[in-house]
Amino acid sequence: MYAVEVEKLTKIYGRGDTAVRAIVDATLRVKPGELVAILGPSGSGKTTLLTAIGLINEPTHGKVLIDGETVADEGWRPGLDLKKIRREKLGFIFQAHNLIPFLTALENVMIALEINGVPERAASERATALLGALNLGHRLRNYPSALSGGERQRVAIARALANRPKVILADEPTAALDTDNGRNVMALLKKLAVENHSAILVVTHDRRMVEGFDRIFEVHDGRIAAG
């Protein structure tokens, strides 16, 4: 079973003469444990593709399956609880870490678990273990303002992993980092894909950051092809 399946996905903004085809007939499949890059210049449609897979941006046409479940087929599947699927099966990492400034590193990870109904003690244990695995065990009580850019991004990664998602979606996760920290984050994502058996899709415009990825998909003018 694939963790992600996208079949002939198309996203059109507007109508008639003003219509913009942001993504056209995109097809890709990603297995659990794979680290895949979606590579392309700004405006090529790669973020549109990622947000459709992430159940944020409704496709105009085509199908999307997450962990074997059809979530979109010529639009969202009727009656589907998109929020529940996002909470339980998807993890998100963005260019901006989006940490809550008045919560500590530990609390920023715990909140993702508590929203899913995990009791406080269990949430604390899981968050502590994740941050420790990401070499942030000494930063549990620090607020985001006291962390470096690389440390904040690692907290965001821990938060994305908190609920053991089947799929992790990362949109330009290294854009705000220097080259060394960026490469460290990408190496960490590869390690986590294998260890957690999660499919990880990373959108980036920087080819230097995708060394060692399992596969690369190139996006140009809304069309996708294997690199």
The answer to whether residue 94 sits within a structural domain is yes
Q: How far apart are CA 12 and CA 188, in angstroms?
A: 35
Strand partners, 57: none
Q: How far apart are CA 173 and CA 94, in angstroms?
A: 5
* Nearest to 207, CA basis, from 183, 191, 184, 189: 183
Structure confidence by residue, pLDDT tens digits, 63-122? 999 999 999 999 999 999 999 999 889 999 887 788 999 999 999 999 999 998 999 999
> Which DSSP state fits 166?
S
CATH number of the domain that residue 55 is part of: 3.40.50.300
- The predicted model scores a pTM of 0.88
Rg over CA atoms, the chain = 17
The answer to whether residue 113 sits within a structural domain is no
The length of the chain, given as a count of residues: 227
Structure confidence by residue, pLDDT tens digits, 157-174? 899 989 989 999 999 888
Which residue carries 């929020």 as its tokens? 83
Structural domains of the chain, count: 1
Q: What is the band of 15 on the pLDDT scale with cuts at 50, 70, 90?
A: confident
The answer to whether residue 35 sits within a structural domain is yes
CB 20 within 8 A of CB 217: no
How far is residue 5 CA from its own chain's centroid? 15
The answer to whether residue 210 sits within a structural domain is yes
**Single-letter code of the amino acid located at 85:** I
The answer to whether residue 114 sits within a structural domain is no
Is residue 227 over pLDDT 60? Answer: no
How far is residue 75 CA from its own chain's centroid? 21
Neighbours of 202 (CB within 10 A): 28
The answer to whether residue 141 sits within a structural domain is no
CB 209 within 8 A of CB 186: yes
Is residue 54 over pLDDT 90? Answer: yes
CA dihedral defined by 209, 108, 69, 82, rounded to 10 degrees?
A: -120
pLDDT of residue 208: 82
- % of the chain residues with pLDDT over 70: 99
**Domain encompassing residue 174:** 4-74+82-100+149-226
The answer to whether residue 115 sits within a structural domain is no
Is residue 226 over pLDDT 70? Answer: no
The answer to whether residue 196 sits within a structural domain is yes
